């Protein structure tokens, strides 16, 4: 259904071909402001294959200047990235073919290359694609990474770097890119920021998102991410700082701060990382603590954020990158214990709590071959058992087990054996 925002945007767009270049820029500025107000449904309603085809035709007929097209496309890409949208209409459009051809032609130039135009073209194509042709990856990834190596700290340069990194972060974990196209540059970008704090928070998060997405299918990156670049320390520190800027008392839909979007993005890459991570690091305790803190802060008004925190904590138990002791020290067991007592049978949170303790119990029952590891396992097992007894965990689990229906969609995958939920010393 068309809304006032989409109607106004269409009217402004229809007027573009009748304007000179200066007037086009003014109308595009108005359109950018409208785009920023739009919700997900409005954006998807507007940005169709037909819309992008029309833009392509206007360029061909010289009714719309290329620079203005790129000014129009960048805020679309920005909103697409922040809202995790899939705008599939672009890939089938005439505009995609035209921009891709321009990128290839610009890259081949030996002299007279317009670097700003080249970067803008690459940003728009990477922003708006969902599937990435190899030719785009080999040209656009080095181009955008090179654009992010600028060291000036002016607002203009910071914004340019932010846009380039945000575009790169759109390439999700299933997109394979050869290491030689990005590894030295992305390491330099992250390390330089750690020393000089030259990036915006969104830019820094985007750099990590690009790298973590690569590690999901390239396991050779894991040691560098964990032990050299210190993902646990950096992600936990960023979540702590970002939380200070959010008014958690306001409803999620009322809070338009960019910090909320960046927190969302950190939570997603933490979840992705622990799905693939196999290495332990002492920093995981800090990361667990930061997830617990965000959950507590978001509890009253940000249900989806707290659910994402719970999913991440639950998955870290299943994927075994984090030691059980880290959950105790980081406050996760306290959190899950509290939620177990408060949630209802129909609540996804309750399902995740039961799943968390089931996996904790299973891991602590597994004997190890190394004597030192076995001693540590027994110590942690005793601490966990004492903690669960202190919290009255056993009575809560038994009461739920008596009434829960394992045919319920949230519970059918859980064990029906009551003893599986306990850690016996």
For the record, the structure tokens of 2 come out as 């068309």
| pLDDT computed for residue 224 by the predictor | 97
Taking the C-alpha atoms of residue 190 and residue 185, their distance in angstroms, rounded to an integer, is 9
| Cα(256)–Cα(327) distance, integer angstroms | 32
Q: Where are the domains of the chain?
A: 1-131, 231-322, 324-425
User: Which tokens hold the place of 231?
Assistant: 């993902």
Classify residue 322 as left (phi > 0), alpha (psi -120 to 50) or beta.
Answer: beta
State residue 158's pLDDT score: 94
C-alpha to C-alpha distance for 122 and 99, rounded to whole angstroms: 9
Tell me, what's the pLDDT at 63? 87
Can you list the residues of the chain whose pLDDT is less than 70?
253-255, 425
> Which ranges in 170-302 belong to alpha helices (H)?
183-196, 201-215, 222-223, 231-243, 258-276, 284-298
Q: Could you say which DSSP state residue 225 is in? A: I
pLDDT of residue 350: 86
Single out the residue of 180, 287, 271 nearest to residue 231, CA to CA: 287
Q: Are 55 and 95 in contact (CB under 8 A)?
A: yes
**Contact criterion met (CB below 8 Å) for 184 and 225:** no
Per-residue CA distances from 197 to 155, 156, 189, 192, 203 (Å): 13, 16, 10, 7, 11
Cα Rg for the chain, rounded, in angstroms?
Answer: 25
SS3 184: helix
Cα(206)–Cα(166) distance, integer angstroms:
5
Please compute, for residue 336, the number of CA atoms within 13 A of its CA located in the half-sphere on the CB side. 31
Tokens at 222, concatenated? 């894991």
Alpha-carbon distance of 130 to 166, in angstroms, equals: 14
**89 CB contacts (<8 Å, ≥6 apart)?**
47, 48, 49, 50, 51, 52
Output the six-digit token pair for 134.
């190899």
DSSP symbols for 242-258: HHTT--TTS-GGG---H
Q: What are phi and psi of 25, to 5 degrees?
A: -60, -40
Question: What was the pLDDT predicted at 300?
Answer: 86
Question: How many CA within 13 A on the CB side of residue 307?
Answer: 10
The residue whose two tokens read 């007279």 is: 112
The predicted pLDDT at position 425 comes to 63
Tokens 């540059």 sit at which residue? Answer: 185
Please list, in sequence order, all residues whose beta carbon lies within 8 angstroms of the beta carbon of residue 276, skipping any fewer than 6 positions away.
215, 216, 219, 222, 319
Q: What is the DSSP letter of 30?
A: H
3-state secondary structure 92-137: CCHHHHHHHHHHHHHHHCCCCCCHHHHHHHHHHHHHHCCCCCHHHH
Q: Is 1 helix (H, G, I), strand (E, B) or coil?
A: coil
Closest CA to 312 of 328, 329, 295, 299: 295
Q: Could you report how far apart the first and last alpha carbons of the chain are, in Å?
A: 60
């Amino acid at each position: 259904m068309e809304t006032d925002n989409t109607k106004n945007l269409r009217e402004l767009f229809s007027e573009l071909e009748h304007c000179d270049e200066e007037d086009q820029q003014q109308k595009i500025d108005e359109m950018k402001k409208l785009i920023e107000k739009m919700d997900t449904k409005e954006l998807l309603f507007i940005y169709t294959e037909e819309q992008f085809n029309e833009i392509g035709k206007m360029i061909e007929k010289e009714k719309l200047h290329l620079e203005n097209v790129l000014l129009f496309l960048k805020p679309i890409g920005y909103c697409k990235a922040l809202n995790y949208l899939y705008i599939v209409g672009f890939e089938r459009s005439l505009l995609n073919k035209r921009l891709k051809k321009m990128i290839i032609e610009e890259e081949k130039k030996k002299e007279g290359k317009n670097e700003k135009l080249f970067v803008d073209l690459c940003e728009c194509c990477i922003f708006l694609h969902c599937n990435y042709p190899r030719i785009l990856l080999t040209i656009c990834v080095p181009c955008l990474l090179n654009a992010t190596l600028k060291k000036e700290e002016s607002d203009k340069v910071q914004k340019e770097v932010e846009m380039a990194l945000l575009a790169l972060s759109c390439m999700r974990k299933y997109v394979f890119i050869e290491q030689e196209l990005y590894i030295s540059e992305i390491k330099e970008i992250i390390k330089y920021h750690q020393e000089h704090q030259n990036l915006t928070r969104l830019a820094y998060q985007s750099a990590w998102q690009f790298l973590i997405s690569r590690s999901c299918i390239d396991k050779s990156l894991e040691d560098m991410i964990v032990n050299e670049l210190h993902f646990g320390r950096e992600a936990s520190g960023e979540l702590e700082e970002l939380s200070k800027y959010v008014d958690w008392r306001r409803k999620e839909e009322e809070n338009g701060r960019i910090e909320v979007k960046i927190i969302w993005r950190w939570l997603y890459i933490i979840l992705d990382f622990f799905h693939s991570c196999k290495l332990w690091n002492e920093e995981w305790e800090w990361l667990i603590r930061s997830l617990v803190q965000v959950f507590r802060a978001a509890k009253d008004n940000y249900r989806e954020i707290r659910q994402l925190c719970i999913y991440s904590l639950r998955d870290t138990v299943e994927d075994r990158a984090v030691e059980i002791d880290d959950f105790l020290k980081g406050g996760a067991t306290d959190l899950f214990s509290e939620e177990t007592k408060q949630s209802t049978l129909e609540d996804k949170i309750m399902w995740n709590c039961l799943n968390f303790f089931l996996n904790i119990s299973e891991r602590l029952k597994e004997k190890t071959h190394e004597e030192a590891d076995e001693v540590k396992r027994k110590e942690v097992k005793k601490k966990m058992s004492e903690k669960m007894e202190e919290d009255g965990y056993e009575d809560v689990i038994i009461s739920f087990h008596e009434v829960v229906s394992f045919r319920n969609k949230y519970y059918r995958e859980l064990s029906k054996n009551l003893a599986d939920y306990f850690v016996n010393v």
